[in-house]
Amino acid sequence: MISINDDLKIKHGNRGDKKIALTFDDGPNPYFTLKILDLLKSQGVQASFFIIGRWAEKYPDILRRIHKESHSIGNHTFSHGGDHDDDAKFGDYRRCEETIENIIGIKPRYIRVPGFGYGHPVRVRELRKYDLQNREYLIIDHDINSDDTNLDISPTQIIEKVTREIKPGSIIDCHDGCGSHKVHPETGEVIKPLDELLKERPKAIYQALPEIIRVLKSQGFELVSLDKMNLLG
Ligand SMILES: [Zn+2]
> Cα(233) to centroid of ligand 1, in Å?
27
Q: Report d(CA 96, CA 52) in Å as an integer.
A: 7
> Cα(14) to centroid of ligand 1, in Å?
25
CB 107 within 8 A of CB 101: yes
Q: What does the pLDDT read at residue 4?
A: 44
> Cα(218) to centroid of ligand 1, in Å?
30
By the CB criterion, residues less than 5 angstroms from ion ligand 1 are 25-26, 114, 179
Q: What does the pLDDT read at residue 82?
A: 59
**Peptide bond preceding 121 in cis form (omega within 30 of 0):** no
Q: What does the pLDDT read at residue 119?
A: 41
DSSP 163-196: HHH--TTBEEEEESS-SS-EE-TTT--EEE-HHH
Helix/strand/coil percentages in the chain, nearest 5? 40, 15, 40
State which amino acid sits at residue 98.
E
| 3-class DSSP string for 20-34 | EEEEEEEECCCCCHH
Q: How far is the CA of 23 from the CAs of 2, 171, 209, in angstroms?
A: 22, 7, 12
Q: Which domains does the chain have, with CATH numbers?
A: 6-228 (3.20.20.370)
> Cα(29) to centroid of ligand 1, in Å?
12
E-strand spans in 48-137?
A: 48-51, 72-75, 110-111
Secondary element (H or E) of residue 158: helix 155-165
> Cα(26) to centroid of ligand 1, in Å?
5
Q: Report d(CA 161, CA 150) in Å as an integer.
A: 13
> Cα(114) to centroid of ligand 1, in Å?
4
Q: What does the pLDDT read at residue 1?
A: 31
Backbone Cα Rg of the chain? 17
Q: How far is the CA of 138 from the CAs of 12, 38, 63, 64, 110, in angstroms?
A: 12, 27, 20, 22, 5
Residue segments in the chain with a per-residue pLDDT below the cut of 50: 1-6, 117-122, 133-134
> Shortest CA distance to 76 belongs to which of 97, 101, 46?
97
pTM of the predicted structure, to 2 decimals: 0.90
